[in-house]
Amino acid sequence: MIKRDLVIVGGGPAGMAAAIAAYENGVKDILLIERDQYLGGILNQCIHTGFGLNYFKETLTGPEYADRFMRKICSIPDIEISLKSFAVRLTGDKTLTYLKPGSLNEVRPKAIIMATGCREKTREMIHIPGTRPAGIFSAGLAQKLINIEGLLPGREVVVIGSGDIGLIMARRFMLEGARVKAIIEIEGKSRGLVRNMVQCVEDFDIPVYFNHKVLEIHGKDRVEKVSVAKVDSKMNKAAGTEFDITCDTVLVSVGLIPENELIEMAGVAIDKKTNSPVSKEVNETSIPGVFVCGNSFKVYDLVDSVTADSELAGKLAAEYLGSVR
């Protein structure tokens, strides 16, 4: 059993900002674990611009934003970084178990900050009927395939939902030579930032169907088409408005939910509706010394807000450690 003052789970923008802030507020014994082989988290696949306008007063791409924090954190020897380290269990006394290639490790810190981010909602969560052919992706998975792996998931795309990742991926598919045939949004307006409706959708003349929903996904081995209809005020299909769109790919971009399985395992109270920890103050949980920051606390629109919130979590953890020492 390893003992530490502070363990941080997650090496994305939240975990890095929390670690640096904790260090700057006096914590000198920090272990940060990250499951990927790189720091940076989801920013590495967000190659578009628009990050950092609040925090750095300039507009950066995701990898550039991450790079600034990576450089800083790698220059602090008191922060140990353990990559390829996958957290699998957390107990109420803050014992964390994590897997690393070739080893199973246990660490019991005095305080822990969870910076585990969020996950995309899936097709199953919004109950879209139909078959289960190849060609259905969450927008973020398509982003990883295109921007990290160099694979184009399809040629004719329909996007379900108008979240920012879906809009950004619609543009990305167009730039890569695919055709985005429609964005289908059940609400009357976009869920994404209005600037993304301009620079990702209007710039590429992509048709958007507001107040419409996908009734069914068709296809045997591969997606062949989707059936779409207008919805009434109760979100039910308006009779006589059905039409089909042929496509080989469906992207699902219908929102994000905080990832909090580990703290739930430890007995932290979770709001089942939002999947956020129940707490009086930002970043705190029902267990003293267990903090949650960034998108695992609540889903933010901007990474700048994630950084600010996570710096606060680092400071809170430092204050907590000062009080229990």
Q: How far apart are CA 165 and CA 160, in angstroms?
A: 11
Q: If you count them, how many residues does the chain have?
A: 325
- Say if residues 170 and 138 touch (Cβ distance below 8 Å): no
Contacts of the segment 279-286: beta carbons below 8 A, 24+ positions apart:
282/309, 282/312, 283/309, 283/312, 283/313, 283/316, 284/316
269 binds another protein (CB under 8 A): no
179 binds another protein (CB under 8 A): no
Shortest distance, CB of residue 49 to another protein, whole angstroms? 5
Options 95-103, 188-196, 209-217, 242-250: segment touching another protein (CB under 8 A): 188-196
- Say if residues 187 and 161 touch (Cβ distance below 8 Å): no
Shortest distance, CB of residue 37 to another protein, whole angstroms? 7
203 binds another protein (CB under 8 A): yes
64 binds another protein (CB under 8 A): yes
Q: How far apart are CA 165 and CA 218, in angstroms?
A: 24
Nearer to another protein, 175 or 269 (CB): 175
Nearer to another protein, 91 or 199 (CB): 199
193 binds another protein (CB under 8 A): yes
Q: Which of 197, 256, 299, 318 binds another protein (CB under 8 A)?
A: 197
User: H or E segment at 172?
Assistant: helix 164-175
- Say if residues 32 and 132 touch (Cβ distance below 8 Å): no
Shortest distance, CB of residue 175 to another protein, whole angstroms? 5
Q: How far apart are CA 10 and CA 24, in angstroms?
A: 19
Contacts (CB under 8 A) with another protein, residues 28-57: 37-40, 44, 47-50, 53
- Say if residues 118 and 258 touch (Cβ distance below 8 Å): yes
Contacts (CB under 8 A) with another protein, residues 65-94: 67, 70, 74-75, 77, 81
Shortest distance, CB of residue 19 to another protein, whole angstroms? 13
User: H or E segment at 304?
Assistant: helix 303-324
Options 13-21, 61-69, 213-221, 278-286: segment touching another protein (CB under 8 A): 61-69
Options 21-29, 119-127, 145-153, 179-187: segment touching another protein (CB under 8 A): 145-153
Nearer to another protein, 133 or 255 (CB): 255
Distances (CA, A) of 129 to 30, 69, 132, 141: 47, 43, 9, 21
Nearer to another protein, 34 or 284 (CB): 34
Helix 13-24, helix 62-74: angle, nearest 10: 30
Positions in the binding site for another protein (CB under 8 A): 37-40, 44, 47-50, 53, 59, 61, 63-64, 67, 70, 74-75, 77, 81, 146-150, 175-176, 193-195, 197-199, 203, 301-302
